[in-house]
Amino acid sequence: MRLIFLGPPGSGKGTQAAKLIEKVQVAHISTGDILRENVKMGTALGVKAKEFMDAGKLVPDDVIIEMMRQRLQKDDCSRGFILDGFPRTVAQAEALEKMLNELDMKLDAVILFKVSDEVVVERLSGRRGCRQCGAIYHIRFNPSLRGDSCQICGGELYQRDDDREEVIRKRLDVYHSQTAPLVGYYGERGLLLEVDAGRSSDEVLKTILDAPWGRSE
Ligand code: AP5
């Protein structure tokens, strides 16, 4: 199974990827998570990426493409993968196509998470994440059973720096101008599956699993 999760910030890409890898043994590759890990560790990549992320802008294509070139060559990708948050520009999509050809890999589908901007703002302003294991919660829609601690590992829950309303609005603008053109790009290649991501998490997961690649695993 080789899937791309495409959609605006807060559409549920990370939530669904975490649910899906409980059922199928594939790598979950989130460019946002890799970048945040680098920011936390203070690497050169993290220092460079932080100013773009805090402003709600995209990290430059050359940085992301090189990062993904290295990631896709790791052993765990041979079982398949979910790309969560990559590609995000046409240049990234073209680079990915080239990389996959070189690795002799084919995409099964691109899942488009469709949701309104207002739902995004509501979801992201209430999102909390675990500092320790990365689990994702929402103060209203999916609260931790342990209050301010993670119900899985007990870690501290925190709010991302880019989940403030003004940064969320900027991220949405960036999505509509730079990432939405990928809908046409993958539509032309016959790879697109649109999912109504405004429904409950379980309903969204069912739609993804009911597709041909979900049944075959
Ligand atoms: P990244 O971390 O990828 O952020 P994003 O794409 O903006 O997506 P999010 O993680 O915010 O949302 P999500 O769709 O995963 O939603 P989630 O499941 O958490 O990127 C961050 C930054 O890194 C970018 O701004 C950029 O600077 C940089 N970057 C990353 N990749 C890059 C690239 N390729 N090129 C350049 N720069 C890049 O859900 C959100 C909330 O909603 C949660 O609280 C969840 O509990 C709740 N929720 C989820 N589903 C439902 C549901 N069905 N019903 C109710 N609530 C729900």
Work out the average pLDDT over 211-215: 64
Q: Which pLDDT score is estimated for 212?
A: 74
Q: Give the residue-averaged pLDDT of 142-161.
A: 96
- Percent pLDDT > 70 in the chain is 98
Q: What pLDDT is stored for residue 214 in this prediction?
A: 53
Of the candidates 151, 112, 113, 159, the one whose C-alpha atom is nearest the C-alpha of residue 133 is 151
Q: Please say if 215 is a catalytic residue.
A: no
**What is the pLDDT at residue 28?**
97
- Name every protein residue with a CB atom under 6 angstroms from any ligand 1 atom: 7, 9-15, 30-32, 35, 52-53, 56-59, 64, 85-86, 88, 92, 123-124, 127, 136-138, 141-142, 162, 171, 200-201, 204
When pLDDT is cut at 50, 70 and 90, the band that residue 211 belongs to is confident
Q: In the block, which residue shows the tokens 């509501």? A: 122
Catalytic residue among 2, 36, 123, 127: 127
Q: Contact at 8 Å (CB) between 27 and 76?
A: yes
Looking at residues 150-179, what average pLDDT do you find? 95
Annotation says 140 is catalytic: no
Q: What share of the chain is helix, strand, coil (3-state, %, to 5)?
A: 50, 15, 30
Among 2, 36, 128, 171, which one carries the catalytic annotation?
A: 171
Distance of CA 199 from the midpoint of ligand 1 (Å): 16
Domain boundaries along the sequence of the chain: 2-115+164-214
CATH number of the domain located at residue range(s) 2-115+164-214 in this protein = 3.40.50.300
Confidence check: pLDDT of 195 > 60: yes
pLDDT at 217: 41
pLDDT of residue 213: 64
Note the pLDDT tens digit of each residue in 57-109. Answer: 999 999 999 999 999 999 999 999 999 999 999 999 999 999 999 999 999 99
Counting residues of the chain whose pLDDT is more than 90, the rounded percentage is: 95
Find, among 106, 120, 84, 112, the residue nearest to 183 by Cα: 112
- Name which residue sits closest to atom 15 of ligand 1, judged by CA: 14
Residue 114's alpha-carbon distances to 11, 76, 168, 185, in angstroms, are: 7, 29, 17, 16
Q: Which helix (H) or strand (E) holds 6?
A: strand 2-6
pLDDT, residue 121, reads: 95
* Atom of ligand 1 minimally distant from the CA of 199: 53
Mean pLDDT, the chain, whole residue set:
94
Terminal alpha carbon distance of the chain? 8
pLDDT reported for residue 9: 96
pTM of the model: 0.93
Q: What is the pLDDT of residues 19-51, one digit of tens each?
A: 999 999 899 999 999 999 999 999 999 999 999
Strands 157-158, 127-130: pairing is antiparallel
